[in-house]
Amino acid sequence: MTCTAGFPTFRLLDAYAGWDPGDQPYDEPVNLIGFDDPAGLRLSALNPNEVNPSDLLGSIPPVRLARGCGSCDWYLITPAPPAARLLRRDACSSQWISVWDGLCPPDYLVNPVAIAAWRRRVAVSDAGAKMVWVWSKRGARLSARIELKDPGPLAFTPRGLLLVAAEENGKWQIHRFGPVGELRGTLPQLPPGTVERLAVSNDCTVWVVIEKNGALEIWRLAKDSKEFEGATLEELREAFDRTGLTAASVHGFCLEQLNASKIPETCCFSWYGRPLCDETIPPAPPTKLFDRGQLLTKAIDSGIPRCRWHRVRLDADIPAGTALEVSVSTSEDENPDPQGDAGPLGPWASFPSGVPHQRDWQVAPLGSTDFLVQQQPPGRYLFVRLRFIGDGAATPVVRRVRLEFPRKTSLDWLPAVYRENPDAEDFTERFLSLFDSSIADLDAAIERYPALLDPQGVPPEVLPWLGTFLDVTLDRSWTTERSRAILQAIPELYRRRGTVNGLKQAIELVFGVEPVIQEVALERIWGAISQAACPDKLKIRAKLGEVRLFGKASNRFRLGSSALSRTPLRSFGNPDRDPVSLGAYRFRVLMPPTPDQTRLWRERLRRLIESQKPAHTIGNLRVGGEGFVLGTWSAVGVDTVFGSLAPPVLGKSGGNIRLNRMSVLWPGPRGARSGIVPGETTVVGVKTVME
């Protein structure tokens, strides 16, 4: 109900507030599901455990396909005739190639029906040869052969054991074999039906897809369980990583993978490994549904005696070929005597008629989702009846029903003269309700408008539309989470645009890497004030008034004062402004290496830098190293190479170290190590100079 103070003004029926189904045997819902699903009420399947084959592709591939070591490594066993072949496709190839190219292909494959892969091992069920073949080294060497009468789907466990489903005397059984083909045991009895697919998840749970009476069902056997139990599609999806398969039929299958530019693309192939267009692979037939369903609610209390119920609004989808019928009836008694009378109801004769009599229901026009409650006497309680009509493949979906009360229209704001005639009052109320409905829709849209601008709350399909308001074009390679994070940060990025922190935040959001930005002007060394002694015995004892903060001869070549080959020649600018212009308006962006640093990746990074930096500045991109920035003038891991220390020698003549002066002696009796270890063989920032 409404959360505002005072009397309630509406009642909701949905997955959150409840659908209030009748609590009597004659009021039970018929052929409907989704009472706890925010997606809404809909017609149920003829077989409650049936699963659509296309829904399995994301978790378990068809039996002729097997995923190898890695997400982009796949094996395919082709049908026979002609001669069956074992094909392989990896991330470096867009074509299916024979595993035995360059080798002597085996001639014992007769009619292979299923394949499985684990690491570098491949197993094939051959129903024609009544054998299971197991190869190692990706098919280069035959390691085991297992004799079975009718072998079918097979799968490897996470520990390398092989499970094979075989039909024996009209019943299916799953056998377990070791690495060399030795029998290790048999799993518990399977439910009735034909085994279509077999897989094992990382927690050693065995998953079986069984066909029974033309429908697919999911069963599982936990690690310590003694029998198979039914499972849902959601549980199956949580147990396995996504395969990337998007479609499969008798004509072929489609795989979605990332190309060289990290953009998802779909490739379709026949069961012989030949490229196909995705239009030639029709989708799997939908799950067969009931063609009719009904919901009868219990008495919905308004809390107002002799309440005049106003309006019924539905948030529903009605596909072509389906229909939705809504009926309401009022009563002043919460538990009236049952008066239901089936009568000549035609196809609805077998459905319960509910408490109100059939002639007491107000039936809205077929397909109506917004109508006024009319021809009903005032009553505190309201009964609602929803009837779903489908075509066996599609179903109406009702997400929410809003019941508004008491009747309140714009007539309440008009003079009393418009209520003197009851007929005129009824007509005026119904007439003004048309405009009240449109105004209410506009008010609701205005109320919801802030939610449409929330990147974290809108559906993924709305994100590109939302980006147009912020002048942001979303890249197809970005994940939904990254797109939401970028749109969420756009207002802050606009405020910080042109600053170091703004550029750093933009790069981190888009590329997921934290860069280091160096401003060249801040690295100018104009003078030094110190009393420390350098390792090369160069004393720096600077005092104020005695040290030149900027050397003119070192920034621009000047006759008579600059050294040859050590000072740049500059033909532009004012020499008197060199102390200010040296390195001004220049910066460097240092990026650590990542696995996807392609040419396109670098170009996108440069474009982002150009769009976020001030127009009068010049940026330099440097990618490399695996370290971090230490201090202001040293970039460890970007352009710095650590080398081993020189062997220590004590003594005044020829010695290079002195005791009690932070010197490092030899690291041990095993000899000099390769490189240096901060904190053990050297102290960074104390006696170490990095340039």
- What domains can be seen in the chain, in order of their start residue? 10-44+289-408 (2.60.120), 53-280 (2.120.10.30), 514-635 (no CATH), 641-691 (no CATH)
Q: Which residue has the higher pLDDT, 457 or 505?
A: 505
Position 688 scores a pLDDT of: 44
Cβ atoms of residues 464 and 475 within 8 Å:
no
Highest mean pLDDT among 155-169, 616-630, 675-689: 155-169
**Residue 194 pLDDT:** 93
The predicted structure's pLDDT at residue 451:
80
pLDDT of 686 reads 46
80 has pLDDT over 60: yes
Q: How confident is the model at residue 262 (pLDDT cuts 50, 70, 90)?
A: low
pLDDT tens by residue, 372-396: 888 789 999 999 999 999 999 899 9
pLDDT over 60 at 678, yes or no: no
Q: Is 60 exceeded by the pLDDT of residue 125?
A: yes
- pLDDT band of residue 502 (cuts 50, 70, 90) is very high
pLDDT at 597: 77
Q: Mean pLDDT over residues 223-236, rounded? A: 90
pLDDT, tens only, 320-331: 999 999 999 999
User: pLDDT grade, residue 668 (50/70/90)?
Assistant: low
Cα 590 from Cα 628, distance rounded (Å): 9
Q: Can you give the pLDDT at residue 548?
A: 61
614-619 own/partner pairs: CB under 8 Å, 24+ apart: 614/498, 614/585, 616/585, 617/585, 617/586, 617/587, 618/585, 618/586, 618/587, 619/586, 619/587, 619/588, 619/589
pLDDT at 689: 42
Q: Helices H, strands E: what count in the chain?
A: 9, 36
- Greater confidence (575 vs 227) lies with 227
Residue type present at position 435? F
Asked if 174 contacts 165 with a C-beta cutoff of 8 angstroms, the reply is yes
Q: What is the mean pLDDT of the chain?
A: 82
Half-sphere exposure in the Cβ direction for 639 (13 Å, CA): 10
Region 595-605 average pLDDT: 82
The stretches of 19-81 forming alpha helices (DSSP H) are 53-56
Q: So what's the pLDDT on residue 120? A: 87
DSSP secondary-structure letter at 648?
A: P
The rounded Cα 55 to chain-centroid distance in angstroms is: 16
Specify the residue for token string 């309630």. Answer: 8
Please name every residue paired with 536 in a beta bridge, in sequence order, or none if there are none.
none
Predicted local distance difference test score (pLDDT) of residue 440: 74
pLDDT band at 7 (very low <50, low <70, confident <90, very high): low
Q: Across residues 485-505, what is the average pLDDT? A: 92
20 vs 294: CA distance, rounded Å: 13
Q: Would you state the pLDDT for residue 691?
A: 40
DSSP SS3 for 398: strand
Residues 6+ away with beta carbon under 8 Å from 382? 299, 300, 302, 309, 328, 329, 330, 331, 373, 403, 405
Residue 503 has pLDDT above 90, yes or no: yes
Sequence letter at residue 278: D
Q: How confident is the model at residue 294 (pLDDT cuts 50, 70, 90)?
A: very high
Q: Give the Cα separation of 566 and 304 in Å (integer).
A: 96
Sheet holding 275-276, edge to edge: 245-248, 253-258, 264-269, 275-276
Which of 142-156, 183-197, 667-681 is the least confident region?
Answer: 667-681
Residue 529 has a pLDDT of 55
Q: How confident is the model at residue 293 (pLDDT cuts 50, 70, 90)?
A: very high
Residue-wise pLDDT tens digits, 402-440: 998 887 777 777 787 777 787 777 777 777 777 777 777
pLDDT band at 487 (very low <50, low <70, confident <90, very high): very high
* Mean pLDDT, rounded, for 101-117: 79
| Alpha carbons 302 and 408: distance in angstroms, whole number | 14
Radius of gyration of the chain (CA): 38
What pLDDT, on a 0 to 100 scale, did the predictor assign at position 543? 62
Q: What pLDDT does 39 receive?
A: 92
- 25-29, 59-63, 286-290: least confidently modelled range: 25-29
Confidence of residue 641 (pLDDT cuts 50, 70, 90): low
Choice between 192 and 415, residue whose per-residue pLDDT is larger? 192
Bond preceding residue 648 cis, omega within 30 of 0: no
Q: Tokens 């074999």 belong to which residue? A: 177
In DSSP terms, 185 is beta-bridged to 176
* Length of the chain counted residue by residue: 691
Across 13-27, 485-499, 519-533, least confident range:
519-533
Asked whether residue 443 carries a pLDDT value surpassing 80, the answer given is: no
Q: Give me 245's structure tokens.
A: 């398969």
For residue 535, the model assigns a pLDDT of 45
pLDDT at 663 over 70: no
pLDDT tens sequence across 551-580: 666 677 777 777 777 777 777 777 777 777
- pLDDT value of position 562: 76
Distances (CA, A) of 418 to 307, 396, 406: 21, 41, 19
Residue 15 CB neighbour total at 10 angstroms:
16
pLDDT at residue 46, as a whole number:
85
In our burial notation (b when 16+ CB lie closer than 10 A, e otherwise), range 463-476 reads beebbeeeebebee
Q: Cis ω on the peptide bond leading into residue 82 (within 30° of 0)?
A: yes
Residue 162's pLDDT band, with cuts at 50, 70 and 90, is very high
**Sign of the dihedral defined by the CA atoms of residues 450, 453, 454, 456, in that order:** positive
List C-alpha distances in Å: 426 to 1, 408, 413: 27, 12, 15
Selected residue with higher pLDDT from 516 and 106:
516
pTM listed for this prediction = 0.56
Crossing angle, helix 599-612 and helix 500-511, to 10 degrees?
150
Coil/strand/helix, residue 75? strand
681: Cα separation from own chain's centroid: 47
Residue type at position 576? D
Query: Could you give the percent of the chain with pLDDT greater than 90?
Result: 36
Residue from 375, 388, 282, 276 nearest 325 by CA? 388
- DSSP letter at 314 equals E
Hey, CA dihedral for 50, 59, 243, 174, is it positive or negative? Answer: negative
Q: Phi/psi at 611 (nearest 5 deg)?
A: -80, -20
| DSSP H/E element including 163 | strand 162-168
Least confidently predicted of 67-71, 346-350, 487-491, 667-671: 667-671
Q: Name, in order, each residue with C-beta under 8 angstroms of 61's C-beta and a sequence gap of 6 or more.
A: 67, 243, 245
Binned at pLDDT 50, 70 and 90, residue 183 comes out as: very high
User: What pLDDT score does 70 carry?
Assistant: 66
